[in-house]
Structure 1
Amino acid sequence: MRNSALVFILCCLVMSSYGQQDISKSWVADLGDGTYNNPILFADYSDPDVCRVGDDYYMTASSFNAVPGLPILHSKDMVNWKIIGHAIDRLKPDSVFSLPQHGNGVWAPSIRHHNGEFYIYYGDPDYGIYMLKTKNPAGPWSDPVLVKAGKGLIDSCPLWDDDGNAYLVYAYAGSRAGIKSVLSIAEMNSEGTKAVSPGRIIYDGHENDPTVEGPKFHKRNGYYYIFAPAGGVATGWQIVLRSKNVFGPYERKVVMAQGNTDVNGPHQGAWVDTPLGEDWFYHFQDAGAVGRIVHLQPMVWKNDWPVIGIDRDNKGWGEPVGTYRKPRVGGNHPIVTPAESDQFDSGMLGLQWQWHANPMDWWHFADAGTGTLQLYSVPVPDDYVSLWDIPNLLLQKFPSNRFTATARVTFRPSVSISGERFGFVVMGMDYALLSFEKTEQGFVLSQNECLKADRGGKETVNEQVSLNDSTLFFRVSVTPDALCLFSYSTDGRSFHALGKPFTAKEGKWIGAKMGFVCSRPVKNNDGGRAIIDWFEVE
């Protein structure tokens, strides 16, 4: 892969039609010469799905327990993407999702455009399959409607047939349903709001395609097609099923696998065509701590079967590409990337930020007057063990496998509370942070880590220093092997390493994230706050 300094400089000078936006300083897929590098999104947009409307492309992805959920991204050329909104403001039921629900919530959505409206279907493994819709993909979206209730129903995708009939294909989560590796289809009403027939298993992958899931439903040249990943997230392949009858029997073919490339488990994504007649496929790759990153592959049809990637040896199936020409979509389109840095000038949180659970309104104040973000301290739960239990983590995705993130923060703790703290966090099943705490002796900055947080692990202190300053610059530098190096500064120029290197680890079905937390150890009627001037990723 290549990502030259010259291209980066050119990218930074671009003023896009989206308005002024910083271009990522850690990863730009568009090489500026008509080609692109995979991944096109070097961040955790798990289970991506994409639809085209005219010459606009819209993507969504799994968001699990993060709020707001179901990110919506927009592109004009299939390579450059910008976050434009979220489809879900809060997860329901609120009594459940107001507490951290690691790995639960929104699984493997599909996005479609039908009769002038955008539809998203997604599975919640504990409740069933939901649908929400809008005329404007930037939002607002309708409240989710439960289309088909059932424990373990996941990975759903609709199809409106030529005769007006509507169908829903979906998979099963073995952890809830007691079965996996099969796909089912149910009939829906024409509005797509309710399943009107029991589901029928149309494919059993136990023999050839264990853990077949994530189906996407299409129709072409009289065939019904189901694109589906199999073989597991990290080691799998992409299959396609086809039939002349919606309920089968379906033929099966492998259409993409890792082959001789370094792209493990290439599958689960979206077939998209262009106005000029090209076919392309989006999928993810499990990249460990960075998460499930998004690739774009060329695709062709041969004998009414797709071949995804490049079939170098006439095997009948393709392998992923690294660098390739951009899709021919017509026109010249600017280089853009999803938001990463935030100056907090708009009076709104940047769209890259998500809470760990449904937030309370008072947890933050984005002050456009001062251009700051204020986080108010939230009492920890009664059964608090670690940050794994905290709902008020404000986090964003790792933007690539190599970056540095810096924030300028002023801590204003309550004068009456000891133990109130602000944290600059790298979060996953293991996590580490710079913990800025008010003690009876004054301010103490420490570098802490928590191993096996998902299994009840507790924080330990690696190193700490006493400080007089209430304003500090916090920094973490991340290397391609997920090593995180924490440092701090009192003047923003000279940084001092603190603690020991920490190896980032993914969360439950997600990549590692970074961000902030402000907490207090007691439940009283008020607390302090942290004032964040800016957050810069480079």
Structure 2
Amino acid sequence: MIDRRAALALGIVGGLSAGLPASARTPRAAMDTGEERQQHGDLGNGTFRNPVLAGDWPDPSILKDGEDYYLTHSSFEASPGLLIWHSRDLVNWFPVATALDNPLGIVFAVDLVKHDGRYFIYIPFMAAPWSQGLKSFANIFVIWADDIRGPWSAPIDLGIGGLIDPGHGVGEDGRRYLFLSGVNRVALTDDGLATAGPVEPVYDGWKYPDDWVTEAYSLEGPKLFRRGEFLYLVTAVGGTGGPPTGHMVTIARARSIDGPWENCPHNPIVRTTDPREAWLSRGHATFVEGPAGDWWMVYHGYENGYRTLGRQTLLEPVGWTADGWPRALGGDLARAIGKPRGGTPGPHGIDWSDDFSKPALGTRWRFYNQAPGESGRATVAGGALTLLAKGHGPDDCCPLTHPVGDHAYECTVSLELEGGATGGLLLFFDDRMFVGMGYDGRSMTSYRGGKASYWQEPVGKATRIDLRIVNDRNIVTMYHRVPGADWTRHGVRSEVSGYNANTMDDLASLRPALFASGSGSGSVRFRDYRYRPLP
């Protein structure tokens, strides 16, 4: 069951700042149809519609633990990182813990497993300018805990460099291994906390026809599971971005963890074949047994027309042929699908609105390019978030962001300037691509395409201002309001569908952001942040 005390400690239950709204606590059929409803996969009638986690939650790794399911994703530079979600029906997900207090680098494509009563997360850290002691562009570490909610250990270096995407497997003799991109393999010690041999290639992958339009071959994401007499090896090929027909799920099997590996005769088992489909670039799958013993895949994909939302978490049913090969049964993922049988619905999602009555770093908010010590810039007290100024603008000030999964929404915040700082509200993809507004108490700067716009928006002088951004299906409209005045709509609107990974070559998403920039000891005090999905 969900540990409410752990959730309270995370600042995600109870109160306006971090609690789930009533609309996010129950399946959709039980909800009102008001505007506050966030995107929610459970339709409340025994069916669901993808995504099960809307927004940028890529590289899902899922663990079945008795009647409970736990899920985590790439958390990149978030600190704390590795948000762990809980479910009992594979459709409704609620966060219960963060596992990584101090990332050593950028975190992506982990594997969450349980072995002999202990939990492990195998983590690739990618080097960043602020990385701590990483020896190559990617290094594999492990953390462990006796309780999924923690405390989790500090990262332990496994001494593996230059490879990514660990997948834990156990041989028929009980010996433990990590499979890695390539596909390579390394033996682990019995406790899973060190390697016990060299890294060596073990599987060359399934090769698709050369005329298929993909980003690159990129054999990665190995995940293993057992069913009957076979051990199955799931991999991703085709590249996670690029052409919509690229990313795919392939599978092989063997009777022994030492092989030989036999490729599935109907590979790939998941692939977008038509760029008009609802979900594009689908891949990086983990197989999991449902509550009633049926099988499902959890993987990520881009929503057609909404690549700005990032790689969202999808759920698809799996069937089995008479000779023991899996087949994807989801069909058109734009339609409703029957929920896993035997599951128990629970609460779902995070309320992105925040009255700043308690901190929520790692759950609701995270800094972009969050170097060690960055969290010290943000303090929460008295119903306000005070953010110390840094840099010259949105591109170098490390904005505070949160993901979104709605096609249309608005976000509003009140801010107060101190010490000559500039504060603002953005939709932020990365330090090269953002749209929004900044105010320094004298004038307003509009940002479009990752730079200051030529458009000059007349605004009166003040130390306090309210800002609002409306993103209505990739059309962005901005507003401001100084004390005592009405809302003023800005004269220029922006179209932002191109603010995505294929434009910027960066696996990120367009997300609301608060920023404070300026030199010296300036700061911006933010109050009453409100996120509202639009109908």
**Same fold per superposition (TM over 0.5):** yes
Q: Deviations over 1:295-330 (max 9, x none)?
A: 1101122222111234xxxxxxx6646311111134
Shift of 1:468: 3.5
- 1:257 and 1:319 in contact (8 A); partners too: no
Gaps spanning 5+ residues in structure 2: where?
1-20, 28-33, 127-136, 210-216
Shift of 1:61: 0.7
- 2:424 and 2:467 in contact (8 A); partners too: no
Shift of 1:220: 2.4
Amino acid at match of 1:430: M
Question: Match for residue 150 of structure 2?
Answer: 139
- 2:242 corresponds to 1:226: no
Q: Residues 141 and 16 from structure 1, CA distance in 2 versus in 1: closer, same or farther, beyond 3 angstroms?
A: farther
- 2:224 corresponds to 1:217: yes
What percentage of residue pairs aligned between the two structures are identical? 22
Question: Match for residue 302 of structure 2?
Answer: 286
- 1:404 and 1:537 in contact (8 A); partners too: yes
Q: Could you tell me which of 53, 57, 64 is aligned with 1:45?
A: 57
- 1:23 and 1:337 in contact (8 A); partners too: no
Distance 2:468 2:196 in 1: 54
Shift of 1:397: 0.8
Distance 1:206 1:278 in 2: 26
Distance 1:137 1:289 in 2: 32
Shift of 1:150: 1.1
Q: Could you tell me which of 36, 40, 43 is aligned with 2:48?
A: 36
Question: Match for residue 534 of structure 1?
Answer: 529
Q: Deviations over 1:228-249 (max 9, x none)?
A: 1212224222111111232322
Distance 2:102 2:68 in 1: 27
TM-score w.r.t. length of structure 1: 0.80
Amino acid at match of 2:164: I
- 2:438 corresponds to 1:435: yes
Question: Match for residue 90 of structure 1?
Answer: 102
Question: Match for residue 290 of structure 2?
Answer: 274
1:344-359 matches, within 5 Å, as 344-349=356-361, 351-356=363-368, 357-358=370-371, 359=373
Q: Could you tell me which of 329, 342, 354 is aligned with 1:309?
A: 329
Question: Match for residue 4 of structure 1?
Answer: none
Question: Match for residue 186 of structure 1?
Answer: 186
Distance 2:278 2:532 in 1: 27
- 1:83 and 1:339 in contact (8 A); partners too: no
Gaps spanning 5+ residues in structure 1: where?
1-10, 98-104, 172-181, 311-317, 452-457
- 1:185 and 1:202 in contact (8 A); partners too: yes
Q: Could you tell me which of 277, 292, 300 is aligned with 2:319?
A: 300
Amino acid at match of 1:50: I
Shift of 1:483: 2.6
Q: Secondary structure at the match of 1:266?
A: strand
Q: Secondary structure at the match of 2:376?
A: helix
Shift of 1:281: 0.9
- 1:226 and 1:240 in contact (8 A); partners too: yes
Q: Residues 492 and 112 from structure 1, CA distance in 2 versus in 1: closer, same or farther, beyond 3 angstroms?
A: farther
Shift of 1:116: 1.9
Distance 1:486 1:37 in 2: 31
Distance 2:290 2:255 in 1: 25
Shift of 1:361: 4.8
Greater shift, 131-140 or 423-432, is seen at 131-140
- Which 4+ stretches in 1 moved above 6 angstroms? none
Distance 2:405 2:509 in 1: 10
The root-mean-square deviation of aligned C-alpha atoms, in Å, is 2.6
- 2:24 and 2:37 in contact (8 A); partners too: no
1:478-497 matches, within 5 Å, as 478-480=471-473, 482-490=474-482, 494-497=486-489
Amino acid at match of 1:115: D
Q: Could you tell me which of 509, 512, 515 is aligned with 1:514?
A: 512
Distance 1:329 1:307 in 2: 21
Shift of 1:493: 9.4
TM-score w.r.t. length of structure 2: 0.81
Distance 1:192 1:143 in 2: 14
Amino acid at match of 1:364: A
- 2:340 corresponds to 1:327: yes
Greater shift, 344-353 or 489-498, is seen at 489-498
Q: Deviations over 1:384-418 (max 9, x none)?
A: 6x533333x11011222221112222x1321xx4x
Q: Deviations over 1:81-105 (max 9, x none)?
A: 122232222222xxxx6xxxxxxx1
